[in-house]
Amino acid sequence: KQEVTQIPAALSVPEGENLVLNCSFTDSAIYNLQWFRQDPGKGLTSLLLIQSSQREQTSGRLNASLDKSSGRSTLYIAASQPGDSATYLCAVPRSNTGKLIFGQGTTLQVKP
Amino acid sequence: NAGVMQNPRHLVRRRGQEARLRCSPMKGHSHVYWYRQLPEEGLKFMVYLQKENIIDESGMPKERFSAEFPKEGPSILRIQQVVRGDSAAYFCASSQSVQGVETQYFGPGTRLLVL
Hey, is the C-beta of A111 within 8 angstroms of any chain B C-beta?
no
Hey, is the C-beta of A5 within 8 angstroms of any chain B C-beta?
no
For residue A87, the model assigns a pLDDT of: 96
Give the closest-approach CA distance of A99 to chain B in angstroms: 7
Residue A31 has pLDDT above 90, yes or no: no
Contact A25, A71 (CB under 8 A): yes
**Residues facing A74 on adjacent strands:** A22, A65
Residues of A in contact with B100 (CB under 8 A): 31, 51
Nearest of B61, B2, B73 to residue B32 by alpha carbon? B73
Give the closest-approach CA distance of A35 to chain B in angstroms: 10
Residue B100 per-residue DSSP state? T
CA distances from B92 to A7, A35, A87, B108 (A): 26, 17, 18, 8
- pLDDT tens for residues A5-29? 999 999 999 999 999 999 999 988 8
Residues of A in contact with B7 (CB under 8 A): none
- Is B35–A100 a contact, with Cβ atoms under 8 angstroms apart? yes
Q: Which residues are within 8 A (CB) of B114 and not within 5 positions of it... i.e. 6 or more apart?
A: B12, B13, B14, B15, B19, B82, B83, B84, B85, B86, B87
- State how far the Cα of B92 lies from the Cα of B80, in Å rounded to an integer: 19
Residues of A in contact with B44 (CB under 8 A): 102
Residue B104 per-residue DSSP state? P
- pLDDT tens for residues B49-94? 998 899 999 999 999 999 999 988 999 999 999 999 999 999 999 9
- pLDDT tens for residues B24-51? 999 988 899 999 998 878 899 999 999 8
- Is A41–B44 a contact, with Cβ atoms under 8 angstroms apart? no
Hey, is the C-beta of B44 within 8 angstroms of any chain A C-beta?
yes
